[in-house]
Structure 1
C-alpha cells in the first residue's frame, strides 16, 4: 500500500481523469450532441406522454435533471461513504453506472428510440458527476497540501490528452465511415461504446492504486442514519470556517460563469455566429490542447504567487472572454478566426480554473476524515451553479433574442467571485 505523497499513488489517482474525461469531451461536448441533433432535427419527438417540438430543450432538461439528482444524493451518499470508509466502492459503482450507460447509447438508433437516448443520457451524467465527488475527495489522501496543485493539474492534463486522442479516433471514423464499411450514424454509435470501454477499462488502474478504508472504520448497522448525521456535522463545521465558507461562495459564482460557458460555447458558435460544424470541431480541439498548457502553467504560477492570486488572474481572463464574445458578430469578416482565438483564450483558463479550485478547496479543509462529505458540498455548489447559470442564460436569450447579452451577463458573476476572493485571508498553504 502506497503512502500519502507517493508518486505512484498520485499518478494512479490522476489517471482517473484520463479514464473519465472522454465522457465530458466526446459525449457531453462533441459527438453525442451532434448525433442527437442529427437524429431529431426538424422532428417532433414523444417522451413521457408529451410531444416535444424542440428536442434540444428535452436534451437540456434531461441534463439539468441529472445535475439536480447528483446535487440531492451526493451529500447523503458521501456522509455514508465517510462513516463506513467506502469511498472507493461508491466511486466504482458510479463509474460503472456511467460507463455502461454511455455504451447503452449505442441502442439509440432513431427517433423511435429517443427514450433510450434520454434515459441513458441522464444515467451517464449521474454516473460521471457522482463518481467525481468521491474521486476529488481522495486528493487530500493521496497528496500533501504542497503537492495538491500539481497533482490536481496532472489529473486534468491526463484527462485532456486522453480525451483528445479518443476524440480524434472517433472523428476519423465518423468522417470516413466508408473505410470501415459502415454509415456515419453507426460510426457515432460505435464511438459511444468505445467511450464506455475506455472509461471503465482505464479506471481499473486507478481502482487498483487507490486505498480502500484507510481509517479502518467499522460501521454499525444504522450506517444510513449515521451517515446523515455525518453530513449535518460537516455542514455545521463549514459555517465555522469563514475562509472555507467564503471560498465556496466565490466558487459558486465563478462556476455559474465557467460551467455555463463550457456547456453553451458550441451552441453560441453554431447558432449565434452560424459557424460550420468543422469550425466547431476545430475550436473544441483547440480548447482541449491549450487547456493542457493552461493547467500546467497556472499550477506553477500558484506555487510562486499563491492560489488566491492565480485564481483572480484566471477570473480576470474569463471576464475578458465574456467581453470578447459579446463583441463577436456573425456578419464580421473572418469571424471563425476570431472564434478560434477566443477558443484558445478559453482553453488557457478552462483547465487552470478547474485544477486550481479543486486544489484550493482541498487545502482549505480542516484536519478531518470526512473528505467525501466535504467534497460533496463542493460538488453540490457546482451543480446548483450550473442549473442557475443555464437558466439565466436561457432567460436572457429569450428576452433579448441574442446570446451575446447572455454571455456578457456572465461577466458579472465572475466579478462577484473576484470581489469575494479579495476578502479571503491567507492560510498556511493557500496565499
Structure 2
C-alpha cells in the first residue's frame, strides 16, 4: 500500500533519535523473563507443583485425574497455568488503561518504565521460592510479574513514537525485537547448560529451574538500568486540553473518559485493535503454552524444550530483521498478513508432530522463529501510526492489554479444550481460529485512512 505523505505538525521525534540505542535495551532486559520464565519454564513447573498438590503420590509420567478446588470449582492441574494467564489478563485489561493515561501525563516516562520494570523483576525473582505444593504463590507471582511487564511495555512502546519518524518505525521496532531475542537467547543458553547438568552447580533439576527463574528476574532488573539512565532526560508531553490543575490521577481519569468517547472517531484504529486481539491471542498462546505442549503432550524433557526455544530465539533474531526488510519492500500491513498465513500453517503442523520425534519438533521451531518476532514487531510499528499524538501511552495501554503474556481468549480456549479432552493436541489446533479471524479483520483495515484520521504523517509505504 503506497501513499503520499500528508502534511503534519511539528514532529515529536525530531531531535530524539539518540534515544534509540538505550530504548533497544529494554527489549534485551525483559526478554530474559519472557523467554526463560514465562515461555519455557514456569508453565510446566507450576503444573508439576499443582499436580503434586492434587495428587501427592502420582507416579512419574502418569496423568493426575484429581482436580484442585478453587473457590468451590474443580480445576485440573494441567489447566492452572493457562487459567492463571487468563486471570492476569482480565486484571491487566482494567489496570493498564489507567497506567497509559498516567504515563502520558508523566514528565519523565523513563522513570515510570523503571518503576514497573523493577516491580515485575522482583516478582520474577521471588518465583524461585515456589516449590513443594505451594502452587498458590506461583499463581500470585505470575499475575504480578505479567501485570508489571505489561505496564512497563505500555510506556516502552509509546516511546517509539517519540524517537522514530513514521518511515523509520518498522526498522526501529524490528531492531528492538531482534535485540530482545538475542538477549533472551543468551540467558537461555546459560540456563540450558544448568538444566542439562544441574550437578555442575550442586543442585537437583528442580533447583536448577528455580535458579534459572531467579537469574531471569535479576537480568530483567539489571539491564533495565541502561534504558532508564539512557532515556532519563527524555521528556513526556502534557495533553493541552487536560487542565494541569487536575493532577496526575484526576487528569488521567478525565483523559480516559475522553478516550472512550472519542474512539468512534478512529474506526480504523479500533478495527486494528480488534484484529490484533484475535491474532495476538493466538501468537501469545502458542508462545506461552509451547513448553507445556512439548513437555506434557509430546513427551520431551524440560532440557529438550529449552534447547528448542534456544534455537527459536536465534532464528527469531534473524526473522525480526528479515520482516523489517520485507516491510520496506511490501509495507508492514501486507507483511503482517503474510506472517499470519504462516502462523496458520505452523499451528496445523503442531497438531501433527509425532510424540518424541525430535527432528519434526525442531523443524516446527524454525518455522515459529521465522514468523515470531517479525509479526509482533511490525504490529507494534503499524499500530503506532494509527494513534493520535501526545496520547501514545494511553492508546498503547489498550494495545498492551492484548500483548505478550496477557492474552486471555486464547489461553482460556486452550485451557477449556484441555479440560474437556485431557489432550493438548485439540487444544493447540483450536488456536487456528484466532489467526483466521484476526487476519480477516486486519485485511479490512484501511491503514492509510486510519493514519490520516489520527492526524499523523503517512509514511512512504505502509
Q: Taking structure 1 as the reference length, what is the TM-score of the superposition?
A: 0.89
Does 2:391 align with 1:370? yes
Provide the C-alpha distance between the structure 1 equivalents of 2:75 and 2:16, rounded to a whole number of angstroms: 54
Once residues 184 and 29 of structure 1 are traced to their aligned partners in structure 2, the CA distance between those partners, rounded to angstroms, is 18
* Residue 376 (structure 1) shift: 0.8
Report the Cα distance in structure 1 between the residues aligned to 2:95 and 2:422, rounded to whole angstroms: 36
Distance 2:351 2:207 in 1: 38
Q: What does the per-residue CA deviation read over 1:325-348, in whole Å, with 9 as the maximum and x for residues that have no partner?
A: 233343xxx733112111111111
Identify which range, 122-131 or 147-156, moves more after superposition.
122-131
Determine whether 1:123 maps to 2:158: no
1:352 partnered with 2:374: yes
Distance 2:333 2:293 in 1: 30
Aligned residue number for residue 23 of structure 2: 13
Gaps of 5+ in 2: 1-11, 56-67, 449-457
**Distance 1:54-1:141 versus aligned 2 partners, 3 A rule:** same
1:274 matches 2:299: yes
1:139 corresponds to 2:160: yes
Go from structure 1 to structure 2 and tell me whether the alpha carbon gap of 1:148 and 1:72 turns closer, same or farther (over 3 Å shift). Answer: same
Q: How does 1:285-300 map to 2 (within 5 A)?
A: 285-300=310-325
**Per-residue deviation, 1:215:** 2.7
The equivalent of 1:81 in structure 2 is 103
More helix by share: 1
Map 1:230-245 → 2, pairs under 5 A: 230-245=255-270
Give, in whole Å, the separation in 2 of the partners of 1:325 and 1:362: 32
Instruction: Summarize the Cα distance change of 1:369–1:186 in structure 2 as closer, same or farther, 3 Å threshold.
Output: same
SS at match of 1:195: helix
Q: Could you report, residue by residue, the CA deviation over 1:24-54 in whole angstroms, capped at 9, with x for unpaired residues?
A: 1111122333443454544338898889874
Change (3 A) 1:39 1:395: closer
Task: Tell me how far apart the structure 1 counterparts of residues 333 and 84 of structure 2 sit (CA, whole Å).
Answer: 35
Distance 1:105 1:307, change over 3 A: same
SS, match of residue 145 in structure 1: coil
Shift of 1:98: 0.7
| Count of residues in Structure 1 that have an aligned counterpart in Structure 2 | 425
Q: CA RMSD in A?
A: 2.8
Secondary structure at 1:43's aligned position in 2?
Answer: helix
Cα-to-partner distance string for 1:233-274 (whole Å, 9 max, x where unaligned): 223333212221221121112112111211222222233323
Farther off after superposition, 79-88 or 53-62: 53-62
Write out per-residue CA displacement over residues 149-200 of structure 1, whole angstroms, 9 at most, x where no aligned residue: 1111111111111111111112322332333333343333332332222111
Select the residue among 158, 171, 185 that pairs with 2:206.
185
Aligned to 1:306: 331
Matched, 1:248 2:273: yes
Paired residues of 1:84 and 1:219 also in contact (CA < 8 A): no
- Counterparts of residues 34-113 of structure 1 (less than 5 Å): 34-44=44-54, 54-111=76-133, 113=134
Counterpart of 1:364 in 2: which secondary structure?
coil
Relative contact order higher in (CA < 8 Å, ≥ 6 apart) = 2
Which residue does 1:224 correspond to in 2? 249
What residue ranges of structure 1 are gaps of 5+ in the alignment?
A: none
Q: Give the Cα–Cα distance (whole angstroms) in 1 for the partners of residues 400 and 238 of structure 2.
A: 25
In structure 2, what is the Cα distance between the partners aligned to 1:420 and 1:260?
19
1:160 aligns with 2:170: no
Aligned with residue 29 of structure 1, among 21, 39, 48: 39
Deviations 1:117-167 (A, max 9, x none): 333222222211211111111110111111111111111111111111111
TM-score, length of structure 2 as denominator length = 0.84
* Cα distance in structure 1, aligned partners of 2:248 and 2:236: 18
Q: Distance in 1 between matches of 2:344 and 2:115?
A: 38
Asked if the contact 1:314–1:353 (Cα under 8 Å) also holds between the matched residues in 2, the reply is yes
Q: Using the TM superposition, name which of 197-206 and 38-47 deviates more.
A: 38-47
1:84 CA drift (Å): 4.0
Offset of 1:384 from its aligned partner? 11
Aligned match of 1:284: 309
Alignment of 1:328-339 (within 5 A): 328-330=353-355, 335-339=357-361
Distance 2:382 2:24 in 1: 16
Q: What SS class does the counterpart of residue 146 from structure 1 fall into?
A: coil
- 2:61 — aligned with what? none
| Kept after mapping to 1: 8 A contact 2:47/2:81 | no
Q: Does 1:327 align with 2:320?
A: no
SS in 2 for 1:223: helix
| Contact 2:79–2:418 (Cα < 8 Å) also in 1 | no
Once the two structures are superposed, what CA deviation does each residue of 1:283-306 show, in whole Å capped at 9, x if it has no partner?
212221211111000111011111
